[in-house]
Structure formats: structure tokens, C-alpha cells
Amino acid sequence: MSNAPVIALKISLVIFMAGNLLEMGLKLDPRDALRGLRDARFVLLTMLWSFVLGPALAYAITRVVPLAPPLAMGLILMGMAPSAPFLPMLVGKARGDLGYTAAFMLLTAAGTVVFMPLAVPLLIPGLAVGPWAIARPLLVMVLLPLATGMVVLRLSQRGATRARPFVKGTTLVATVATAVLCIVVYGKALLGIAGSLAVASQVLFFVPVTAVSYWMGLGLPNDRRIVLSAGLATRNLGAALAPLFALPEVDQRAIVMVILGLPLMVVFAKLSIRWFGPSNLAGASRPQPTEGAA
């Protein structure tokens, strides 16, 4: 296959990731996120699940389930990268706290940029890529667009309001292009891993991070526990793919394993908001999201 579809996929993935986070930054008042950042219990649970329990669970599964090394590599990378860019949309549907969602995304975005370059060489010794090669695309796709949007909003709310429709439309096109190009480039490889226990290992990962993280949030209101559950059920696939795309040559099965996480994380994120949403829990309180985070 020509390199053109692969290059197009990388470009569309960058636009998809950066566009979603830029859009969030354009409507994120830092005061909304500060509520969550001041909640020590929420911050502790977010960091514990995102950068200790989640990666440890993914690593443990690869030790128990007989996966091919490239598939194990893909699962571990997914385990290191929580929080998909579309998390606010999911939390909004579950009537969760959007201010805490902003705090969760800020914590996981910054944490991923710091954690992955340090943890990848330890958990995946065979992945020969330097820390800066991992950190650089994460900065471009995660922290930079989010910070840019927040700065624009701070300088001019009117300018941020005008920019959002364009950013949203561009991101939507990139989202569709990314999905189509994934099928074009890796469709055969996706079919080729059938029977490899790839799906089973991902289910073993998503069930605990979705359900146990919610129940470990006891002491937090339901609208904040749902942020933890949905946030951890989703994965930042762009961040997980960044170390693989930084390599001159990589076994396609590692990339396919990460891409396979897309439909599975959508399923488990929707299950999270269905299971734990306020309408399904007796006595759950209706959250009051702030206008700036909506």
C-alpha cells in the first residue's frame, strides 16, 4: 500500500485530537476546573487510576493472557493514556459535572505528557523510542491546543465564540476521515487478529476501569463519580499511538490493537453513563454544570 493513506491518517488524527482539545479550551473557564482541582479526593482518585492502577492493570493482563508482543504493547500503551477528547459530550449526556470533567481532562492531559515518556521504557523495553520522541507529539496534540484555546478565551470571549463553529466543523471532518482511513489502512490487519485474544484482553481491561473506578469513588457525589468512570473508560488513542508513529518501523499489530480500542471504549463509556447515570440510580442528585464548562 502507498504511504499516502498512512500519512493522511496521521494528519487527520492530529487534527482530530488537537481540534477536540482546542474546542474544549475555547469554552473552558479555568474557574470551573478549579473546583475539581481543589477536591483532594477527586484529584487523588484521578491520578491513582490514570497513572498507577490503569497502567498496572494493562501490564498485568499482558502477563496473564498469552498475547503476541505487538498486541501486548498496544494494550499497555492504551493503559497509559486515559480520557478521550470527546469526554465532555459523554458526561453531558449522563448529567455529570462538567467542571469536574474539565479538571479531569487537565489532570490527565498534563499527566500523560509527563508519565508516558518515563513509563514507556520501563513497561515496554522493546519499544526503542526516546522520551522526547514520545513527549513531543503529546505536547502538540494534547497540551498545546488545550492551552491555546484557554488563552484565546481569556483574551477574547467573542473571538473564542466565533472560532468554535469552525474548529468544531474541522474536527468533525477529521473525525470522519480518521475513521475511514483506519479502515482503509488497517482493515485487513484488524480482521487478521481475530482469535488472538485481543478483544478478550481489552474487555478484561475496560470492565474494571469502568466499574471499579466508579465504586471506588465512594464519598464523591454521583455526578463526579461518573466523570471518573466515563473518563477512565475512554482512552486517548492519539496519545497511545504517538510512540508507535514515532518509530521508523513498527509491527502493524501494535497499531491495530490501539485502533481496536475505539469501538470498545465507546461501548464501555456508553455503558458507564447508562449504568451510573443519575436516572438509573435512586437518590442521585442532578448536577449543576456551570455555564462556562457547558
Kindly report the number of other CB atoms within 10 A of residue 31's CB atom.
Answer: 12
Predicted TM-score (pTM) of this structure: 0.85
| Phi–psi pair at 24, nearest 5 degrees | -65, -45
CATH number for the domain harbouring residue 204: 1.20.1530.20
How many structural domains compose the chain?
1
Q: Contacts for 114-117 with beta carbons within 8 Å, 24 or more apart?
A: 115/51, 115/80, 116/80, 116/81, 116/239, 116/242, 116/243
Range of the domain at 104: 3-277
Question: Residue 152's Cα: distance from chain center in Å?
Answer: 24
Report which DSSP code applies to 38: T
pLDDT by 10s per residue, the chain, length 294: 568 888 898 899 889 888 888 988 888 777 778 889 999 999 999 999 999 999 999 999 999 999 999 999 999 999 999 998 888 888 888 888 988 998 998 899 889 989 998 898 888 877 767 778 788 888 888 888 888 998 998 899 899 999 999 999 999 999 899 889 988 888 888 877 766 799 999 999 999 999 999 999 888 999 999 999 999 999 998 889 888 887 778 888 899 999 998 889 989 988 888 888 765 544 444 444 444 433
Instruction: Flag whether 44 is in a domain.
Output: yes
Alpha helices in the chain (DSSP H): 3-25, 30-37, 40-48, 54-64, 69-79, 87-93, 98-123, 131-138, 144-155, 157-192, 198-207, 213-215, 222-233, 237-245, 252-276
55 close to 123: Cβ distance less than 8 angstroms: yes
Instruction: Flag whether 292 is in a domain.
Output: no
Instruction: Flag whether 267 is in a domain.
Output: yes
